Structure formats: C-alpha cells, structure tokens
Chains A and B, each alone.
Chain A
C-alpha cells in the first residue's frame, strides 16, 4: 500500500476525530454528546492502530508525523484523570488534608518550633532594647503603641470591614503561597518568612506589655490569632517539605523527592487557603468590633482553634475512606 492509498482509505476517521477534537478544544469535553464522547474514544483507538501501521510501513513519511500529532492532541482528552467534583473537594478536605497533615506532622513541628524560637527571641530582644522592635515592626505601629493606642482602631475606622477582610485574607493567602513556593530556595525563604512572623508577634507582644497595651492587643488577636498563625505554620511546613526534599532527599533521587513531597505539600497549602478566607472574615468583622466582649472573642478563637486541630488530628482515620485515590 502506498502512503497516498493509506491516507485515502483512512482519512475519514482522522477527519472525524479532528473535528471532534477541535470542538473539544474550543469548549471542553462537556460540549460533546454521549455518542460523540464514545466516538472520540473509538476514533482515538483507530488512530493509534493507524499510527502503529504507519510507523512500521512508512517510518519516514509525513503521515507518521501528522498522525502522531493528532494522537498526542487527543491523548490528554481520552485519558483524563478524576474530574473535579463537589464530592472530590469534600473528600479532599475531610480525608486527604488531615491525612497529609498527620503524615507530615514533623514538618509542622519544625515550622512551629522555628516560629516559637523566633517569637521568644523577638520578645527577649525588645525586653532588653526597645529599639530592636523597629527591625520588624513599622514605625507608625510603634508610634501608636507609644501613644497607648491600638493601631487597629485607626485602620478599621478608615476601611470598612468587608474591604479589610478581603485585603487581610488575600494577603495571608499570598504569604502562605509564598512560604510554600520559597521552599524551592532550599527552604531558606520559608525559614525567613516563618522567622519574621515569629519575631513580629514576639516583639509586638513584648512592646505592648511594656506600654500596658497587652489587654487591648490580646482582645484584638484572640478571635482569629490561633487559626491564622496555625495555618501560616502549616503553609510553612509545606515549604519546609519542599526545601528538605532538596537538602535531604533520603532514599529518593533529589528529583523524585521533590516531586513526591511537592505533591503532598501542595495539598497542605491549598487546604489552608479556604481557612484563611474564613479567618480573614473573623479578623475583619469580629476582632475589631468593640461591641463584642473580649470573653466572647476569646471563646470563639479557642473554639475555632480546637475545631481546626481536632479536624487535622482526628478526621479521615476511617480506613474505608483512605483507599480512594486522590
């Protein structure tokens, strides 16, 4: 058989596949009817047979190139992974996220330790020398504390809670994503982000304590603080996973370690993003609200914190739900 004959006898299938493919590429698989979808699979198998025939009989011809291109365009549509469904998302948050967290709990412990050490160091530094606070805290904020005023009152008097919440949670998610991405700098960038956040908290606490502002400060941060810091630390843990994969890949090659731990780490950092949205709303609407008593804010903060950790430590332990491929 000549290539011309081959093309002429088989081209109808290829043209059909091509037009289905163009339709799919424009408007995703949903654009296809059930029959068309079935036909796509059939045509793809016909095409791969033709490709194999052409590879054997006309190895040097344009037919091989063309069929190869057509097949590689179709391949990702025929062999799709699990699609994104509500049930899949629910499964992710109920099982994958807590399981991944527990499997990598030592990275969270490391992340939390860095944060605590930095916090204590920051507090000690400010205890001995107030000027040290200027390294991580803005001068404007220090001025407010010197005047025994909460900077938050000014901030929330200018910006409405809805806008403030949006800014807070987009900023926090950016920090979480950055902490993860900077894991690629051998964890150095992640380490710096965790350290700076620890230093800031330690310095502010100590500075407020020296000016008798500890009460108002605690009242402000108590509702959202526990969850907010925890989620940033989880994102930090994700960054440290990537960083240590580069530093100490263990039994894997560095490349494999990066891919294996990266796949787990991204689950953690994506998992905390919605939590940061919720806690951003708490920080914008509830924390600065003077009408809500401090006790209530504290109770809410503890409740949300407990909910987070109970979920992370206890959810998804049922073995029947762990087998599903994510």
Chain B
C-alpha cells in the first residue's frame, strides 16, 4: 500500500468531478514515462524489424530481388504494406492507441500510466493526434532530451505535446482495491478466550479500532523491536484505563507475551461502535 499523502501539492493534480468530489490524480514522473516510451519504441521498431527481416528472408528463399521486381507473389503488395506500416509506426502508433485504449499505449499499459485531459476526462482523437504529432519535436531520437527537460521542470510534468493538447499523464494502481480488502479482513474469533471478561469491559472508539486493525495488518512487515514496542504501547493504552475501574482486581490481565493475541481477540469480538446511518 503506497503511503503517499494525497494532499501533497507536488506531482498531484486535483480534479473536481461533476459530483463535487475531489479526485487526486498522481502525475506520472519522468522515470515511468521514459520506461513507457522505451517499451513503445522497442515494440514499434521491433515489430517493423521482425516483419522486414521475415520478408527479406522469404524473398531471398524465393530468389527475388528488390529492384525492378515484377508483381510475383504479390511483391508490390508487400512493399506497399511495409511502407504503410513504417508510416504508421512513425506517425500513427501513439495517436491510434491512445485514442482506442482511452489514453494508453502498450508501453503505457505496462508502466501503468494513462493520458487524461487536464480536467481528468478522457482524451479525444484530436487530442491524441495533437500531443503525438509533435513528438517529432519533443520525443523522437535526440529531441527526447527536450521532452525530458520539460517533464522534469514543468510543474505538472508536461512535455510540449501535453501543453498543446491540454493533457496530463497519470499513474494508476489497479491492484490496491484487492489489497485494501485483504487488509481489512478481521482476524478469526478465538474460542474460549481467557480474556473474555476483560474484553467485555472495553468499549473501543473507532480510532482505537482502526489503530489495532492496522497494527495487526502490518505487524509482519515490522522488525521485531518495533513490533514489540508498538504492541505494548497500544495494549497498555487500552488495558490501563480498565485497571483503574472498580472491581477490576479479579480480572485476568494479559501478560506482555499475550498482547498480540489479546488485540486480535479484541477487534474480532468488537467490530467497532454501532454503525451510524449513512
């Protein structure tokens, strides 16, 4: 789970949806965008090269020559297709994919980034064409240096094509819902809990409940010292007020070694204060 602050001003674009809800879009940085671009470029010229080599090998096997060929085996047709394919890879690849795949190219999909309009909406065909035709000036060959400088220095990571088409490139984290749901699973109830009496006396606030739940979710990622320290802090904060209550002398209080099991038992028995109507 990325622990980023959505309110952080840098590298974020805040968008207000028609439902009056603020969306925070995380802008893709130079690194991610470069990776996507390199992948796309490898794909473009890789496919082109593979087809070209295949055609040359076939022609060689059939003992044909490029110059002055007559239209045997659809040789003209193949040459036309190759010319069109080269043209497509040079000028059409990015615009076509971004238009058909709602702001993504194969490289962007792998790098998990997407092109959006400034307001967070989808880009149109004209936007896709606009931002990609000017790649000649800001991201092809040595000109890529210009696009990179722009992405690095521009407040919203825009290269000239993004400025022209009023687009932004954002990062996506498609797996996080599954992660969130997995993390929000409560631990199973422990039968014959030795601390049942104690637990009955505790009424958790929603913040305490979240704190314990989050501690339990993340405890495996903590180093042992931190884990013990945190566990003691949380458990003490909950148990100590009970100690001060009357008639608490006979209660079975957990030892430090049992703290984790106690916390686990606590959140599984108490799902929190009753639901407010929402």
Contacts and interface: CB of A to CB of B under 8 A. Distances in A.
B273 interface: yes
A173 B25 CA distance: 36
Contacts of B133: 177, 180-181, 266, 269
A153 to B, nearest CB: 15
Contacts of B121: 75-76, 79-81
A108 to B, nearest CB: 19
B237 to A, nearest CB: 17
Interface stretch (B54-62, B80-88, B190-198, B257-265): B80-88
Interface in A75-91: 75-77, 79-82, 84
Contacts of A22: 174
A315 interface: no
B248 interface: no
Contacts of A77: 102, 122
A35 interface: no
Contacts of A53: 278
B210 A2 contact: yes
A135 interface: no
Chain B, interface size: which category? Answer: 35 or more
Given A18-B177, A25-B174, A77-B122, 20 more contacts: A2-B206, A4-B184, A5-B271, A5-B275, A28-B102, A52-B20, A55-B22, A69-B172, A70-B177, A73-B174, A76-B121, A166-B80, A180-B134, A181-B135, A259-B164, A259-B166, A262-B165, A263-B130, A263-B165, A266-B126
Interface stretch (B1-9, B223-231, B239-247): B1-9
Interface of B: 1-2, 4, 6, 15, 17-25, 67-68, 71, 76, 79-80, 83-84, 86-87, 90-91, 99-103, 114, 116, 120-122, 124-126, 129-130, 133-138, 160, 163-166, 170, 172-174, 176-181, 183-184, 186, 206, 209-210, 213, 267, 271-273, 275-276, 278
A72 B103 CA distance: 13
Given A2-B209, A160-B71, A258-B163, A75 B87 contact: no
Nearest to B267: A4
A53 B166 CA distance: 31
Interface in A252-279: 255, 258-259, 262-263, 266-267, 269-270
Given A166-B83, A177-B136, A259-B164, A65 B19 contact: no
Interface in A189-235: 189
A160 B181 CA distance: 63
What band does the interface of chain A fall in when counting residues whose beta carbon is under 8 Å from B? Answer: 35 or more
A62 B126 contact: no
17 contacts: A3-B210, A4-B210, A14-B181, A28-B100, A48-B17, A48-B21, A52-B21, A62-B180, A66-B177, A72-B25, A72-B172, A79-B121, A163-B76, A184-B138, A189-B137, A262-B165, A263-B165
Nearest to A52: B21
Nearest to A162: B76
Contacts of A170: 83-84, 86-87
Contacts of B129: 266, 270
Contacts of A269: 133
A251 interface: no
Contact of B21 (A5, A8, A71): A71
Contact of B271 (A2, A180, A262): A2
